[in-house]
Structure 1
Amino acid sequence: MFDIQPLSRTLGPALQAKIDQKTKPLGALGQLEALALQIGLIQNSLSPSLTKPCIIVFAGDHGVAAAGVSAYPQTVTAQMVANFALGGAAINVFARQHQLDLLIVDAGVNADLTAIPGLVHASIGKGTANFLEQPAMTREQCALAFSKGAELVLRQRNEGCNCIGFGEMGIGNTSSAALIMHCLTGLPLERCVGRGAGLNDAQLRHKVAVLQQALARYPGLSDSREVLTAFGGFEIAMMAGAYLKAAELNMLLLVDGFIAGSALLAAAKMYPDVLDYCIFSHMSGEQGHRALLDHLNARPLLNLDMRLGEGSGIALAFPLLISAVGFLNEMATFTEAGVDRD
């Protein structure tokens, strides 16, 4: 379905030499140097650039919300989508601040959103089914979500975007993400489940019990598509397809927090080379994200104890990418500056 090539490393020595020749001690810019090297390798260029950077926020509802796994009612999903469209959410503020294009996508919200201006309508259905009773989606719906996510990325690439990241909104989606993580990593469920939007201790215990009940209904799942079909959200499946298409198009991929990470995990189980194209923006405050990052051998740029979603970590980390590309392209070498190296 996707043709994702492993990164060519042939330019690596030349990129590293360019980094090392800058007027600084070797390695003095730390993680920025690794970031510059990775961006150069992804773009196969000694002078990479970031053009028309974009965040796509996918919104979808989850049937399992009816089981009381979230601190907020399902109606909040549609209300937050309206807030995104009006420019009032955190991601709107941060995207404006850092001049990032922002698309809001109805991937499957359980509401009529036709009157909301500027919204991208790509709904698979009015929320997923309650996976305590039946699979969250059909195989056909899962495949459609993959293809719609891919189509949205292709549209952005055709408009000149070479740097893209994905956010999400969906009451109940940390439950889906925890089950996806458990099934695809083999880590104990208790390590994968967190407080989401703010559960207290009793509510967290209830959430774990609900998810254990769901697992018992679908034992032994380990294939990405099967897991997404059983437990996923339309927004999570759409993100997975979007990741894979972006990697196929040699785009730089910015990864947000726990839910976005679970979508990437599903994508990477299918096409491991997608990880070469990923930059991990931050480590979420949601329990399970650290273990997920460790499983993916990922090193996040920021650790601000955030757990908002929406792509907020991507927007805050983006200036670091600008700095990495900036020093690689603009910083003087020892020879140019007439500075002795010895």
Structure 2
Amino acid sequence: MNIVLPLIEDLQDAALAQALQRRIDQKTKPLGSLGRLERLALRLGLILGSESPRLAQPQLLVCAADHGLAARGVSAFPSEVTWQMVENFLAGGAAVSVLARPHRQALSVVDCGVKHDFVAPGSPDGTRPGLLVRKVAPGTADCLEAAAMSAEQCALAIAQGQALVRGLPGNCVLLGEMGIGNTSAASMLMARLLGRDIAHCTGAGTGLAAEALERKTAILRAVLQRHAQAQAPLQALAAFGGFEIATLVGVVLQAASERRVLVVDGFITTAAVLVAQALAPHVAQRCVFAHRSGERGHAVMLDHLQAEPLLDMGLRLGEGSGAALAWPLLQSACLLLEQMASFASAGVSERAP
């Protein structure tokens, strides 16, 4: 599989980290009293390479695609919900649409492989506002019978994700996804890349009952056995899918190489980071993990990536909803660095030595 990996350097910078920490400690507050918000400010400063980090023009990408495995009943919802939800995003009625609006996050929906035609009737070029068509194919193959995608399709999806980021303004990208069946793909990627039993990686997804969850787990176990030879990260990605996850891998790689802040949503988007991190070991340094999902397995993924999620609210919707919800915390961390007075500037006495 031929993909071009961008250069992603180690962000470790002792001098900058020391300068940032000194600036945080000199603010008019007891040491460490803003808790994890201080660590978030430090992280953002290191990602953006500045003692005064500023977030500019946040881009929220919801990558959408269908999965052939969904026909086997691994989700509580039918596959047509994928395209119906894309229409809901475009109409502004989805949770992520509502959460993104007040914070001026530019929401783009990317058709990476939805089994539906979104061309706008009457439009000269068929385009629709808010929709980016980067369709690799109308859904992946049933991965119980064959690889979800070919090596060439996987490479194309990754390359398209990289190209998307190169065309975006701003210095931060929020990750979202939509695809009936994609918790199955993410669970199998986790199982293969982390060496975990699939039963510990598989959750209810869109709300499967206990018996249906058992059946889903058995199907995923059979898929893993079917593709036992797919051990390397890109082999596993091609074997299990999906086009939206592969596109997100490209998004993550390119954004990391450009030193943009990556705001990672939940289980599916973290699976994309897991693949990207396996390809380029400094990727996770650029990531802010929005929340710990209610989906089984997400906490294990986060622990593997040494991630400190900002929120823990039992969310398991996806779409980028958790990333949009956590965004004000990133803004607050930057504003405290920029606008909060120091002891010296405010004329406030410091703590006695």
Tell me, yes or no, whether TM beats 0.5.
yes
Could you tell me which amino acid in structure 2 is paired with residue 129 of structure 1?
A
1:221 Cα deviation from its structure 2 partner: 3.0
Contact 1:154 1:245 in 2 (8 A): yes
Residues in 2 aligned to 1:28 and 1:239: alpha-carbon distance in whole angstroms: 36
Partner in structure 2 of residue 3 of structure 1: 7
Post-superposition Cα deviations, 1:5-30, rounded to whole Å, max 9, x if no partner, equal 11141311111100000000111111
Residue 48 of structure 1 corresponds to: 53
Report the secondary structure of 1:113's partner residue: coil
Match of residue 151 from structure 1: 163
In the aligned structure 1, how far is the partner of 2:235 from the partner of 2:229?
Answer: 10
Q: Give the secondary structure class of the aligned counterpart of 2:183.
A: helix
Query: Could you say what secondary structure the match of 2:282 adopts?
Result: helix
Structure 1 stretches lacking a partner, 5+ long: none
Alpha-carbon offset, residue 322 of structure 1 = 0.6
1:101 is displaced (CA, Å) by 0.7
RMSD over aligned Cα, in angstroms?
0.9
Counterparts of 2:68 and 2:32 in 1: how far apart (Å)? 49
- Which amino acid in 2 is paired with 1:103? S
Q: What is the CA-CA distance between 1:218 and the residue it aligns to?
A: 1.0
Report if aligned partners of 1:60, 1:169 keep a CA contact under 8 Å in 2: yes
Please give the alpha-carbon distance, in whole angstroms, between the structure 2 residues aligned to 1:184 and 1:99: 36
Deviations 1:313-335 (A, max 9, x none): 00000000011000001100011
**Amino acid in structure 1 at the alignment position of 2:11:** L
Q: Percent identity of the aligned residues? A: 50
Q: Match for 2:311 among 292, 297, 302?
A: 302
Contact kept in structure 2, 1:8 and 1:44, CA below 8 Å: no
Residue 174 of structure 2 aligns to a residue in which SS? strand
Residue number in structure 1 paired with 2:104: 99
2: distance between equivalents of 1:153 and 1:293?
24
Of 138, 153, 157, the match for 1:141: 153
Equivalent position amino acid for 2:349 in 1: D
Pairing 1:81–2:86 present: yes
Superposition map of 1:221-300 within 5 A:
221-300=230-309
Q: Flag structure 2 segments of 5+ consecutive residues without an equivalent.
A: 121-126
Does the residue aligned with 1:245 lie in a helix, a strand or coil?
A: helix
Describe the superposition over 1:46-99 as per-residue Cα deviations: whole angstroms up to 9, x where unpaired.
111000011100000000001110000000000000111111100100000211
Pick the aligned partner of 1:29 from 34, 37, 53. 34
Give the count of matched residue pairs: 339
The residue correspondences of 1:192-207 to structure 2 (distance < 5 A) are: 192-207=201-216
Written as runs of structure 1 = structure 2, the 5 A alignment for 1:149-228 is 149-156=161-168, 159=169, 161-228=170-237
SS in structure 2 of the partner of residue 105 of structure 1: strand
- 4+ aligned runs moved over 3 Å, structure 1: none
What is the deviation of 1:114? 1.4
**Separation in structure 1 between the aligned mates of residue 175 and residue 233 of structure 2, nearest angstrom:** 19
Which stretch shifts more, 108-117 or 226-235? Answer: 108-117
1:117 matches 2:139:
no
Question: C-alpha displacement at 1:113, in angstroms?
Answer: 1.5
Q: Which residue pairs with 2:124 in the alignment? A: none
State how far apart, in whole Å, the 2-side matches of 1:220 and 1:30 are.
Answer: 45
CA distance in 1, matches of 2:60, 2:74: 28
Residue aligned with 2:301, SS: helix
1:84-141 alpha-carbon deviations (Å, 9 max, x no partner): 1111100100000211111001000011121372211100000000001100000000
Number of the residue aligned with 1:68: 73
- TM-score scaled by length of structure 2: 0.95
Q: Which residue of 2 aligns with 1:331?
A: 340
Whole-angstrom distance in 2 between the partners of 1:97 and 1:302 = 19
CA deviation map 1:222-257 (0-9, x unaligned): 211000110010000000110000000010111000
Q: Within 1, Cα distance between the matches of 2:30 and 2:324?
A: 29
